[in-house]
């Protein structure tokens, strides 16, 4: 995603890293856009706190940590030049609501750039554990439709598939825990599930993952979806009247 910014003519005054975690991307964005104010936004105060010691290394305009929900951003409308969201959108309970907020805070001609996980992600784990215990992820085309519904112009979507090979099921689960990708599906009474289940379920899960293991190890799929879109000038006023722009001929 950072490499793609090389092809974009953009000089934002304010940059929003939506779902920043410990602000690794925010620091890279602050280095790229040295004159911009960079806002590192995450729902987890602990994640923002984990990134704060590293923020001190920036002498000028260090990223500012903000604890907030992506679907209810505490910023005025049309005040952000670039909204950046790397591997965070799939955590949103309602991705469309988050995209609406991204569109609201973006200034006209501002850019949204994001990555998220697609439906083929963890297909092997979903097959072994059951669909009710593993996230489902939005399809690339559905995300493109959401961008249009949120008011974005010229959305561009693409994806890539990455295969990770683990020694066994235990190594897979350890990697997911270490990267923070725990199960956030709601339980039967609306409470988050904590872990997969009891010992019996875990034993059966390990058996099913072992059955999928090939000669080189357990192959696990990740589908990474990329998207970017612009905020165009509004075509209608708040009261519904059409906006027609005239350019003076020289």
Number of neighbours of residue 133 by Cβ within 10 angstroms: 17
Position 241 in a domain = no
- What pLDDT, on the 0 to 100 scale, is given for residue 180? 74
Asked whether the predicted pLDDT for residue 191 surpasses 50, the reply is no
Question: What's the whole-model pTM score?
Answer: 0.84
Residue-wise pLDDT tens digits, 218-235: 999 999 999 999 999 876
Q: What is the pLDDT of residue 183?
A: 64
Asked whether residue 244 is domain-assigned, the answer is no
Nearest-angstrom CA–CA distance, 176 and 78: 37
Residue with tokens 């249009």: 148
> Quick check: is 187 in a domain?
yes
pLDDT of residue 192: 46
Nearest to 223 by CA among 103, 113, 153, 143: 143
Domain count across the chain: 1
The DSSP code for 5 is G
Q: How confident is the model at residue 238 (pLDDT cuts 50, 70, 90)?
A: low
- Strand pairing of 153-166 and 218-230? antiparallel
**pLDDT over 90 at 122, yes or no:** yes
> Residue 197 has what pLDDT?
64
Q: Cα 13 to chain center, whole Å?
A: 22
Say which CATH number the domain at 115 has.
3.40.50.150
Structural domain contains residue 190:
yes
134: left (phi over 0), alpha (psi -120 to 50) or beta: beta
Confidence of residue 181 (pLDDT cuts 50, 70, 90): confident
Q: What are 50-106's pLDDT values in tens digits?
A: 876 555 554 467 899 999 999 999 999 999 999 999 999 999 889 999 999 999 999
143: containing domain: 3-230
Phi, psi of 132 (to 5 degrees): -75, -10
Distance between CA 4 and CA 141 in Å, rounded?
21
Instruction: Examine residue 20 and state whether it is found in any structural domain, yes or no.
Output: yes
Distance (Å, rounded) from C-alpha 137 to C-alpha 120?
8
* 248 domain-assigned: no
The yes-or-no verdict on residue 186 having pLDDT over 60 is no
The residue ranges of DSSP E strands in 87-201, in sequence order, are 106-117, 153-166
């Amino acid at each position: 995603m950072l490499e793609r910014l090389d092809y974009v003519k953009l000089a934002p005054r304010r940059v929003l890293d939506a779902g920043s975690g410990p602000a690794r991307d925010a620091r890279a964005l602050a280095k790229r856009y040295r004159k911009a104010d960079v806002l590192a936004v995450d729902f987890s105060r602990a994640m923002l706190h984990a990134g704060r010691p590293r923020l001190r290394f920036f002498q000028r305009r260090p990223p500012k940590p903000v604890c907030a929900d992506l679907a209810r951003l505490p910023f005025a409308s049309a005040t952000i030049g670039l909204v950046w969201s790397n591997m965070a959108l799939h955590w949103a309970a309602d991705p469309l609501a988050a995209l609406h907020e991204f569109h609201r805070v973006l200034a006209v001609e501002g850019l949204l750039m994001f990555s998220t996980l697609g439906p083929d992600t963890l297909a092997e784990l979903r097959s072994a554990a059951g669909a009710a215990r593993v996230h489902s992820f939005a399809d690339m085309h559905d995300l493109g439709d959401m961008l249009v519904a949120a008011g974005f112009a010229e959305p561009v979507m693409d994806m890539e598939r990455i295969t990770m090979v683990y020694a066994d099921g235990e190594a897979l689960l350890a990697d997911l825990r270490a990267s923070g990708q725990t199960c956030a599906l709601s339980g039967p009474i609306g409470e988050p599930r904590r872990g997969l289940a009891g010992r019996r379920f875990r034993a059966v899960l390990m058996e099913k993952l072992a059955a999928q293991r090939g000669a080189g190890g357990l192959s696990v799929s990740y589908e990474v979806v990329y998207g970017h879109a612009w905020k165009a000038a509004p075509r209608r006023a708040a009261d519904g009247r059409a906006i027609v722009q005239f350019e003076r001929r020289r």
